[in-house]
Amino acid sequence: AKDDRVTFVYLKATESTGLVDRTYKRNLAGARGVGLPVGVYHFFSPNTPAQQQLSNFMRAVNPSTQDLIPIVDVEVAPRRKSQIVPFLKRLRAFVDGVERYFGCKPMIYTSQYFYKEYLKGKFLDCPIMLAKYSEGVPEVGEDIRFLVWQFTSSGSIRGIVGNVDRSCLMNHYTVDDIRYYGKKKQ
């Protein structure tokens, strides 16, 4: 909170069907305690039923404790091409379930490469956060709501031991563009 480069924070809450990050509640309390706007993400498993993943996420995360819209972290694709269409259907079902639970569209986080390979043209209704750790802003070749760029996974922040993912808001976007206002205010 003393680092003026930090204006918001996203925390991992869950992954797949049974993992709840062991540091989630402590990190949530810490970030909120120092006044940082905080959001949450779920690491999506490509071959696991959406409803089971959604149940895990909903058990772990109370929307009323969130300041930022939720994120669906999509980094892993199915191994076989024949599984891509079912994967995309599961992802859509999960995204729609998160929207019902929070009352807002979640942001989709992925890499520039993964977006171009698997998601291009598929989730244009959702805001996007792209990871690209090399020089130059990510480009995906279509008009998307690209709000946040994760530019490194090896950043440092005073007060945190170890590497920290660092991100920035794009162009004219501000923290208010990713702020969560709750179901009734949306």
**Active-site positions?**
75
Q: What letters, b where the CB count within 10 A reaches 16 and e where it falls short, cover 14-39?
A: bbbeeebbeebeebbebbeeeebbbb
Phi, psi of 153 (to 5 degrees): -110, 5
Strand positions, DSSP E, the chain = 9-15, 19-20, 38-43, 71-73, 107-111, 128-131, 146-155, 164-169
